[in-house]
Structure 1
């Protein structure tokens, strides 16, 4: 009989990245698959903020203008959005990219995720992340708008303390004390340009990108096998 065990997952994400939303859905599907294959394993997911563009102006930028400047032409933007929407459909999501007006500064949104984690734990943080992803990518709301963030927080039962500013100030990107630490062995990997989403399973197996559930399941099983090998060597 297998003894109960725990698989830890560190999931790095940014709320402006549609691939992170898709990757979150794929991770949830992979965890469900693991539950059927290995019901003795409990999975603990820690969502870690990784703002991709922390120096974005506090009010954000026009969404379409930002992507045209980034990708080079309206045709390139259309092609990229078609690719993302097709991948999202495979994950059961219908994105509203054509209705989004603002590419936001997400620092306050990440701060709210941290507050949710502090107040009620990882499950509350995951619920708030879902809410923010839904508001941005499915409902085309501006998650850099403090009013939208307060509505999202209220929906998820997150109490916003009075000292949280009404809006990010011009120097907010220089004050990241409230963000989860990115220290440790994983930081050089992320800084090397692998980007988000980025998953680390049990501290040993890394997967970058919105990989399908089967690939994530394989990484989980590999991490569990390595953990079992370490435990066997330790007791030998």
Structure 2
């Protein structure tokens, strides 16, 4: 495997952001398209935590109250949700925002995702991220709740012996914090989703697969240029 046929993807996300779920689906579609165009390329995706509202109370707050306060009215909330539903359908997703009762604090969930990434690798972390997105946006579960996180780990077949059947909690000091260099955003004011390809090309927002594929191909072309110059 050489730098010219390896594509690294750093994906910054938050679990409460529907655009991150939609962006994840677009990324998966773009990776499938890349596989057809460049079957020689191996893609490595690392999900990087970027909690948008870390000051949310640990137990969360009422979902509707949060969005009414944030957007100004029930009508504004309905308009925004219609936009989300439309974008999700275009990505092949069926959301159930009406089932969500609690707007959660995602810090604990992100710490668990990071723990899984450190212990089990990127593939297991991706499976957990998928599961938590599904639990929140489709099942309407509170992903800030420790028992929900335990259930997600079990459903993904991920064993955390230290928990021993006890729900994960915010005060567990052995859980990794979110202040390490591998989760530090590349710049302040970062919006999510945000994708960085091979450390050289980035795409912000829930962009369509074609835009992501273009950035991937440019990043690979850049890697080839660098490798060619180094060999000259």
TM-score, length-normalised on structure 1? 0.90
- The residue number in structure 1 matching 2:28 is 28
CA contact (8 A) 2:111 2:175 kept: no
Query: More displaced, 208-217 or 175-184?
Result: 175-184
Which residue of the other structure, out of 166, 169, 172, is the alignment partner of 1:167? 169
Alignment of 1:22-101 (within 5 A): 22-101=22-101
Cα displacement (A) at 1:162: 3.3
Give the whole-Å Cα distance in 2 for the aligned partners of 1:25 and 1:233.
35
Q: Which runs of 5+ in 1 are unaligned?
A: none
Equivalent pairs counted in the alignment come to 228
Query: Which residue of the partner structure matches residue 231 of structure 2?
Result: 235
Q: Quote the Cα distance in structure 2 between the aligned partners of 1:184 and 1:66.
A: 27
Alignment of 1:108-119 (within 5 A): 108-119=108-119
Give the aligned partner of residue 197 of structure 2: 201
Larger mean CA deviation between 111-120 and 178-187 belongs to 178-187
State the secondary structure of the residue aligned to 2:48.
Answer: strand
**CA positional deviation for 1:99:** 1.3
Deviation at 1:117, TM superposition (A): 1.2
Residue 55 of structure 1: how far off its partner (Å): 1.1
SS at match of 2:44: strand
Give the equivalent residue in structure 1 for 2:180.
181
SS in 1 for 2:214: helix
What SS does structure 1 have at the residue aligned with 2:180? coil
TM superposition shift of 1:11 = 0.3
Change (3 A) 1:230 1:184: farther
The alpha carbon displacement at 1:168 in A equals: 2.6
1:187 to partner: Cα distance: 2.5
SS at match of 1:187: coil
Aligned to 1:225: 221
Check 1:185–1:15 CA distance in 2 against 1; reply closer, same or farther (3 A cut). Answer: closer
Whether the 8 Å contact between 1:67 and 1:77 is mirrored in structure 2 is: yes
Cα drift, residue 5 of structure 1: 1.4
Cα distance in structure 2, aligned partners of 1:23 and 1:103? 20
**Could you list the per-position Cα deviations for residues 71-117 of structure 1 after superposition, in whole angstroms to 9, with x for gaps in the alignment?**
11111100000000100001111111111000001111111111221
User: Over aligned residue pairs, what C-alpha RMSD do you find?
Assistant: 2.3
* CA 224–3 in structure 1, closer or farther in 2 if over 3 Å, else same: closer
The Cα of 1:206 is off from its aligned counterpart by 0.8
Deviation at 1:183, TM superposition (A): 6.4
> Partners of 1:124 and 1:165 in 2: how far apart?
20
* Alignment check: 8 A CA contact 2:50 2:183 kept: no
**Contact conserved, 2:49 with 2:183, CA < 8 A, in 1?**
no
* Aligned mates of 2:184, 2:50 — CA distance in 1: 15
